[in-house]
Amino acid sequence: MPELPEVETVARDLQREVAGATIVGATVNWDRTIRHPQPPERFADEVRDATIRKVTRRAKTVLMHLEDGRVLTVALRMTGALLVVPDTTPEDRYARVVFDLADGRQLRYRDVRKFGRIGLWPGGGLRSVGAGRGSRSKRTAEGRGRYRIGEVFSGHGPEPLARSFSAERFAERLKGRSARLKALLLDQSFIAGVGNIYADEALWRARLHPLRAADTLDAADVRRLHRSVRQVLRQAVANRGSSVSDYVDAKGERGSNADRLAVYRRTEQPCFRCGTRIKRIVVTQRSTHFCPRCQVEPVASVEE
Ligand SMILES: [Zn+2]
C-alpha cells in the first residue's frame, strides 16, 4: 500500500505533468470510487472545466488544488495509481475514473482492488498540518454537502517531514502514550503518512522493538526514533518509493526503494547491522519485521 514516500512521488510527478491542465470531462467507471460529491454523475459534472493549479500531498492522499479553490483528493489506498497517458492509449479495464484533459491526454485513476477513493471538496482550512493532538473523533465526510477540505483531514496527525515536526514536538506527542511503538506509528492521528513498511524500517534504524510501550522511551530513544522516521521517509522519497507490490508512479514505473529496505519482508535474512536473522511477528494484525538482537524485546512490566 502506498505510504507517504510513494504518494509524495506521485504528487510531484503530477505537479510536473498536469499542473495547469484543464479537465474537460470525467468518466466514472466504478461508482464507489467517488467519495464526494454524490451521486458520481454530480462529481463528473462539477469537475468538468476545472483547471489544476497545483498538486500536493497530505498524509497518504494526493491533493489536486483547482484554480477556483476547490480540491480534488485521491486516496490510493491498496492498489490505486494515477497515470498520465495520451488518449490513444488502449483502454484499461482497471481504470475506475478517467479524466480527459484539454491537451488530449488522460489522467487515469487505476485501481485493481477498488479500495481507493476520490473526492471533490470546497477549499479552506487546510493550513492545519500538524495541528491537533489527534484525539478528536474522526468525522466522516461521506454524504455531507459542505465539508471543506481542511475538515477532511481534521483527524490526521502532523506531517513527519514538515519543518515544524521537531524532536521536541514528537516527544510531547509521545508523552503519556502507553501504546506499543508499532501500533502508534501506524496510527494516522498520531503522525500522518507512515504505514507498515516505514514503521518497521524506522524502528529497526532506531534499534527499538516494535512491542515497546511508547512511554518507556528515554529522551535519547525519542530523538533516535524521531530522526529514524524522518530518515527512512526521506530516503524513500529520494528513491521514488518502494514498489513491494503494485505501487507505480504517474508514468507507471516502479520506485527503487524496495532494494534499500533493511527489515521489511526480509524475514530469515541476515540483519545488515549484526547478521542475526530478521524475525516476523504480527502486531495489530500487521506483519512486523525486526532484528531480535538489535531491537531488544521489552521486559514485561510488574503489573502484568
Ligand atoms: Zn541486528
- Residue 33 C-alpha to ligand 1 middle, in angstroms? 42
160 and 212 in contact (C-beta within 8 Å)?
Answer: no
Residues measured by CB to lie within 5 Å of ligand 1, the ion: 271, 273-274, 276, 291, 293-294
- Residue 280 C-alpha to ligand 1 middle, in angstroms? 13
Quickly state the pLDDT bin for 299 (edges 50, 70, 90). Answer: confident
- Catalytic residue status for 122: no
pLDDT tens figures, 168-218 = 999 999 999 999 999 999 999 999 999 999 999 999 999 999 999 999 999
Model pLDDT, residue 301? 53
Taking 70 as the threshold, does the pLDDT of residue 150 lie above it? yes
Q: Which residues have CB under 8 Å from 270's CB, separation 6+?
A: 276, 277, 278
Average pLDDT, the chain: 91
Taking 90 as the threshold, does the pLDDT of residue 219 lie above it? yes
Torsion of CA 239, 242, 250, 151, to 10 degrees: -100
User: Which one of the listed residues 53, 177, 286, 293 is annotated catalytic?
Assistant: 286
Grid coordinates in use for 250? Answer: 504517474
Percent of the chain with pLDDT over 90: 85
Quickly state the pLDDT bin for 129 (edges 50, 70, 90). Answer: very low
- Residue 207 C-alpha to ligand 1 middle, in angstroms? 8
194 and 160 in contact (C-beta within 8 Å)?
Answer: yes
- Residue 100 C-alpha to ligand 1 middle, in angstroms? 50
pLDDT tens figures, 260-295 = 999 999 999 999 999 999 999 999 999 999 999 999
- Catalytic residue status for 2: yes
User: Which one of the listed residues 2, 40, 160, 210 is annotated catalytic?
Assistant: 2
165: helix, coil or strand?
coil
Please tell me which residue, 119 or 1, carries the higher pLDDT value. 119
Task: Count other C-beta atoms under 10 Å from residue 127's C-beta.
Answer: 8
User: Which one of the listed residues 58, 60, 96, 108 is annotated catalytic?
Assistant: 60
Q: What angle do CA 27, 31, 33 make, to 5 degrees?
A: 90
